[in-house]
Amino acid sequence: MQTIYLIRHCKATGQAAEAELTEEGWLQAQKLASFLHNYSIEYAISSPYVRAQQTLIPYAELAGLTIHTDARLSERILSGEQLENWMSCLELTFEDALLSYPGGESSCAAADRAIASLTELLALGHSAYAVATHGNLLSLILKRYDDSIGFADWKGLTNPDVYRLSFSEGSLQAMSRIWNG
């Protein structure tokens, strides 16, 4: 059995790749570190976005782990243009996984790259992984394993949030939210 602890980053100063955690976000990361320390995590990996990496820093220091990065865990780009009604546009991408906006990425394409990253992680053979990513991508990963996951579930995510995904021979056996911050 292998476990992936799928983590949404802590509260950040913005959405840009270089946005850092807020003061509150750093406190959340400390709390998250204590929470994760209850599990025997052997490998830590993050989106290359600063806020995702910073989310894992306190835990990695506590556990003596190196934080690896994978660009496939980066947040999904909804559009390359400013969308006035971005929330409605995002909701539509949960209903139509192939819908993409100019300069953006479809839900299907984003989920494909994230699942490829998780599949490669499992092939490393560790028993447990901490994976820090972003809310939209996290919800798309969950949706890939459970099609009932949708826009409302994305809206219900917290910063941070943690889901435990249990695998046997690369096949998902169980998935549950374990963070109650």
Does pLDDT of 181 surpass 90?
no
- Token readout for 15 is 């959405």
Percentage of the chain with pLDDT > 70? 100
Q: Report the pLDDT value the prediction gives residue 180, as an integer from 0 to 100.
A: 85
Q: Report the pLDDT value the prediction gives residue 46, as an integer from 0 to 100.
A: 98
Q: Report the pLDDT averaged over residues 158-176.
A: 96
Domain 2-177, CATH 3.40.50.300 — does that match? no
Q: Tell me the DSSP string of 87-115.
A: HHHHHHHHH-TT---TT---HHHHHHHHH
pLDDT digit string, tens, across residues 53-70? 999 999 999 999 999 999
Q: Report the pLDDT value the prediction gives residue 8, as an integer from 0 to 100.
A: 98
For residue 77, what is the enclosing H or E element? none
Vertex 4: Cα angle to 12 and 119 (nearest 5):
105
Q: Is the pTM of this model over 0.75?
A: yes
pLDDT digit string, tens, across residues 2-52? 999 999 999 999 999 999 999 999 999 999 999 999 999 999 999 999 999
pLDDT digit string, tens, across residues 111-154? 999 999 999 999 999 999 999 999 999 999 999 999 999 999 99
Distance CA 73, CA 51 (A): 12
DSSP 3-state assignment of 47?
A: coil
Report yes or no: 44 and 133 within 8 Å, Cβ to Cβ: no
Report yes or no: 12 and 25 within 8 Å, Cβ to Cβ: yes
| Amino acid at site 47 | S
| Nearest C-alpha neighbor of 17 from the set 44, 45, 46, 52 | 52
